[in-house]
Amino acid sequence: METFYHHFLGPFIFISLLLGLALVVVIPKTRLAKYCMVSERYFILTHLCGIVCGLLGLLAIFLLPEETVSRYWWKILILPFVYMELYLLAPMIAQGTTAIFDEKQTFNLGTAGGMTLGATIIIMASIVVPLLHSGFLELTLLYPFYLNVVLLLFSSTTLVLFKRA
Radius of gyration of the chain (CA): 18
**HSE value, Cβ hemisphere, 13 Å, CA-based, for 126:** 6
- Compute how many residues bind other proteins; rule: CB under 8 A: 11
Nearer to other proteins, 129 or 160 (CB): 160
Query: Whose CA is closest to 155, among 52, 41, 61, 38?
Result: 52
Q: Which residues contact 31 (CB under 8 A, 6 or more apart)?
A: none
37 is an interface residue for other proteins by CB under 8 A = no
68 is an interface residue for other proteins by CB under 8 A = no
From CA 153, how far away is CA 127, in angstroms rounded? Answer: 15
Nearer to other proteins, 133 or 164 (CB): 164
Near other proteins by CB under 8 A: residue from 40, 118, 121, 125: 40
Amino acid at 139: L
Beta-carbon count within 10 A of 52 CB: 16
For the window 88-127, what string marks contact with other proteins as x by the rule CB under 8 A? Answer: --------------xxxx-x--------------------
163 is an interface residue for other proteins by CB under 8 A = yes
State the residues that interact with other proteins by CB under 8 A: 40, 43, 102-105, 107, 162-165
